[in-house]
Chain A
Amino acid sequence: MTELVIFSLLNGLVTGLLLFMLSSGLTLIFSMMGVLNFAHASFYMLGAYFAYTISTYVGFWPGLVIAPLLVGVAGALVERYGLRHVHRHGHVAELIFTFGLAFLIEEIVQFFWGKATKDYSAPEILQFPLFTLYGQNFPAYKAFMILISVGIFIGLFTVLSRSRVGLIIQAAITHPHTVSNLGHNVPLVFMGVFGVGSALAGLAGVIAGPALGTFPGMAFVLGSIVFVVIVVGGLGSLAGAFVASLLIGWLQTFAIALDWSVNDLLALLGVSFDADHALRDLWTLSLPQVAPILPYILLILILIFRPTGLMGKRET
């Protein structure tokens, strides 16, 4: 049991921090521009594929730097030449634009890289178990993922709260017109934030690709969960996104690790049902089976009881 708890804590931390890298960009973009970017996870996928291609020529490490930059540039271009035009037609148009973009990117990825899984793997220097506990290995690469994500979190927080650019961004979130009247180039700030947000998603893809697999469905499996994170955390709140990411990371790993069922719960209360009861399927439902829907249950509960999210200031 201790073994399961320790490793679930670690696994949840890795998943949670990865989710944070994705959701931090998404929540920043939303709070500034009011755009719910459906294509955000697609930039994550682009990051993984770019890094895979770069790694086949010059290795993993250059890819770690170049791929997010490329994705950032792609994101900035999308904002400058796509989103900015669509913006005039309101939020619905923007929503549909990013929705279409997500499909477009998936098709483009399949067109250039094919549909089969790519053998994008961790660099050899990180392919060893960092430590072994109860016979289970904790791969060094997972520790590397934690390191990168924590670094990004600290960096992002410092920039936003301490630097001049950060102040302008924070101001632009709430008072874009005032900021623009003060002589700042707000569209440029928007483009920059969209680019940086995409680059963060790209970086998440670069480091997640070797661990979670690089295949055309990778954006789809992560896409919806990222929205859960930013809603639960509170739209626009970076700290909220951080807390919600970790919460959901642990929620998912523990739900899979613990083989509890409704039956066990009822047994604790001293209730039991015979095997051929009409609602038998419900009693035998186990936690691992419902694990994939738990985040969405959380999403619905949050929207009903605390629409601002855990740490958000405005209603969703």
Chain B
Amino acid sequence: MAVTRRTAFAATIGLALAWSAGAEAADPIKIAFIDPLSGPFATTGESGLRSFEFAAETLVNAKGGVLDGRMFEIVPLDNKISPKESLIQLKRAISDGINYVVQGNSSGVANALTDAIEKHNKRNPDQRVLFLNYSAVDPALTNDKCNFWHFRFDANADIKMDALTDAIGERSEIKKVYIIGQDYSFGKAVAAAAVRMLAEKRPDIEIVGNELHPIGKVKDFTPYATKIKASGAQAVITGNWGADMVGLGKAIIEAGVDSPIYTYYGAHDGITATFGPLGEGIIRSVREGTLNPPTPEFKALDDAFKAKYPDNDINQPRIFNTIAMLAKAIEAAGTTDPVKVAYALEGMEYDTIMGGKVWMRPSDHQAIQDVHISVHTNKNIVVDADNSGYGLANEKTVPMAGKDSPTSCQMERPNAA
């Protein structure tokens, strides 16, 4: 009896091994996409998913895949923007044998995921997971909380603020700056970085207001705008997003402020269309991947995207870098083994479709790339946003922003063999 059972067991294992070996060549490489696909932030999540699927299709699969014909497959997993839900989805991805996880919305989720993945990889050296973070910008992720398995493809909040304060610093007519943001960790981080960096670069600038408002609860931003106007501010800095960004921007402009409003998220997802002619020359965004003027390659990519999704935009170009660099790393490593792929990603230089380079800094796994200050306008716009005729025109480029920025990251590296 025992013998029969053991034989049966061995046979099963053997069969499974044979099956997996045979399937290896054509098996898709699965990438778990853990982001909100329901609830209040579903728009953002869906927009990311669309870009990932399109990037995998055009940049990898249409070109015959990687490692002789293995295709990328994006597996959407809804985390409802909750860290708890994300960990459940991570377990699901791991039990499906997925080695690559992408996530971007909310640094709270990213912090939870990076901790869980580090623990998992320590305990399960034979089934490790790489975390490709395409949007969560909390600086801690590539500083105190960094680990070997986490790679960030967006510029972090400090790098963006560095570029933004450079732009303000160059304009000597700006003497008074007003900082306003949502009352939560990100809004506070933006304000603190702005105060610190402006003091370093332009000690003569006076911070005439530093204010936090409740997130998602302000029905009318006019009183804030009145205050901003009365303060005599010559520039406004805000990390607001979503409806809070639209409300604040509109109120400030309507109060007659014509000085620049520097934003992190003042474009796309209906925001550009809502600002329309009002925001002309006033709203500025700090971001990676310039949109106007586009490179011919990016224009072609955008045309193809628009043909498939006429109502949506490519608003996170870094997603295309994430997929392309992962494919390049897998090719370079000659395997899908996460450790080898991670080593191939470290220090990788990649020429982006948008123009410019991305360098994955080995010391902290922070992607170093050109960061752009672009302005909301309808002049010389080739790739517009929200089909509104308005879009982001490049105004200033900080090449390889934050290349020499310090990091407190000290990561443990696994054995490459």
Contact B218 A221 (CB under 8 A): yes
Contact B216 A4 (CB under 8 A): no
Name the residue on A nearest B254 (C-beta).
A139
Q: Is A11 at the interface (CB under 8 A from chain B)?
A: yes
* Chain A contacts for B212, CB-based, 8 A: 289
> With A115-B43, A132-B256 as given contacts, are A257 and B218 in contact (CB-CB < 8 Å)?
no
Which of B217, B222, B247, B250 is close to A292, meaning CB atoms less than 8 Å apart?
A: B217
Q: State the CA gap A119–B385 with chains docked (Å).
A: 12
Q: Which 9 A-B pairs have the closest CB atoms?
A: A116-B270, A137-B256, A256-B223, A119-B273, A115-B43, A117-B270, A221-B219, A253-B223, A119-B274
Which of B229, B269, B274 is close to A213, meaning CB atoms less than 8 Å apart?
A: B274
Q: Is B281 at the interface (CB under 8 A from chain A)?
A: no
Q: Is B220 at the interface (CB under 8 A from chain A)?
A: yes
Interface residues on B, range: 35 or more
Q: Is A15 at the interface (CB under 8 A from chain B)?
A: yes
* Chain A contacts for B276, CB-based, 8 A: 119, 121
Contact B271 A252 (CB under 8 A): no
Contact A225 B219 (CB under 8 A): yes
Contact A257 B254 (CB under 8 A): no
Q: State the CA gap A309–B211 with chains docked (Å).
A: 34
B residues with CB within 8 A of A: 40, 42-43, 211-214, 216-220, 222-224, 226-227, 229-230, 242-243, 246-247, 250, 254-256, 269-271, 273-274, 276, 278, 386, 388
Would you give the shortest CB distance from B347 to chain A, in whole angstroms? Answer: 38
Q: State the CA gap A117–B274 with chains docked (Å).
A: 7
Q: State the CA gap A212–B274 with chains docked (Å).
A: 11
Would you give the shortest CB distance from A116 to chain B, in whole angstroms? Answer: 3
* Chain A contacts for B255, CB-based, 8 A: 7, 136-137
Contact B271 A117 (CB under 8 A): yes
* Chain B contacts for A132, CB-based, 8 A: 256
Would you give the shortest CB distance from A140 to chain B, in whole angstroms? Answer: 10
Q: Is A118 at the interface (CB under 8 A from chain B)?
A: yes
Contact B226 A114 (CB under 8 A): no
Would you give the shortest CB distance from B226 to chain A, in whole angstroms? Answer: 4
Which of A8, A217, A253, A257 is close to B243, meaning CB atoms less than 8 Å apart?
A: A217
Which of A8, A117, A119, A288 is close to B388, meaning CB atoms less than 8 Å apart?
A: A119
> With A7-B226, A119-B388, A137-B254 as given contacts, are A15 and B274 in contact (CB-CB < 8 Å)?
no
Name the residue on A nearest B272 (C-beta).
A119
Chain A 116-129 near chain B by CB (<8 Å), digits 1 or 0: 11110100000001
Q: Provide 24 A-B residue pairs closer than 8 Å at the C-beta atoms, listed in order of the A residue.
A: A4-B227, A4-B230, A15-B222, A114-B43, A116-B43, A118-B274, A119-B270, A119-B388, A121-B276, A129-B256, A135-B229, A136-B226, A136-B229, A137-B255, A137-B256, A211-B250, A213-B246, A213-B247, A215-B242, A217-B216, A252-B223, A256-B223, A257-B226, A292-B217
Q: State the CA gap A81–B336 with chains docked (Å).
A: 61
Would you give the shortest CB distance from B200 to chain A, in whole angstroms? Answer: 24
Q: State the CA gap A136–B222 with chains docked (Å).
A: 12
* Chain B contacts for A7, CB-based, 8 A: 226, 230, 255
Would you give the shortest CB distance from A261 to chain B, in whole angstroms? Answer: 13
Contact A119 B386 (CB under 8 A): yes
Would you give the shortest CB distance from B341 to chain A, in whole angstroms? Answer: 35
Q: Is A200 at the interface (CB under 8 A from chain B)?
A: no
* Chain B contacts for A315, CB-based, 8 A: none
Name the residue on A nearest B226 (C-beta).
A7
Contact A213 B250 (CB under 8 A): yes
Chain A 68-100 near chain B by CB (<8 Å), digits 1 or 0: 000000000000000000000000000000000
* Chain B contacts for A129, CB-based, 8 A: 256
Q: State the CA gap A78–B224 with chains docked (Å).
A: 38
Which of A3, A116, A257 is close to B223, meaning CB atoms less than 8 Å apart?
A: A257
Q: Is A150 at the interface (CB under 8 A from chain B)?
A: no
* Chain B contacts for A26, CB-based, 8 A: none
Q: State the CA gap A273–B111 with chains docked (Å).
A: 37
Q: State the CA gap A45–B396 with chains docked (Å).
A: 40
Would you give the shortest CB distance from B194 to chain A, in whole angstroms? Answer: 18
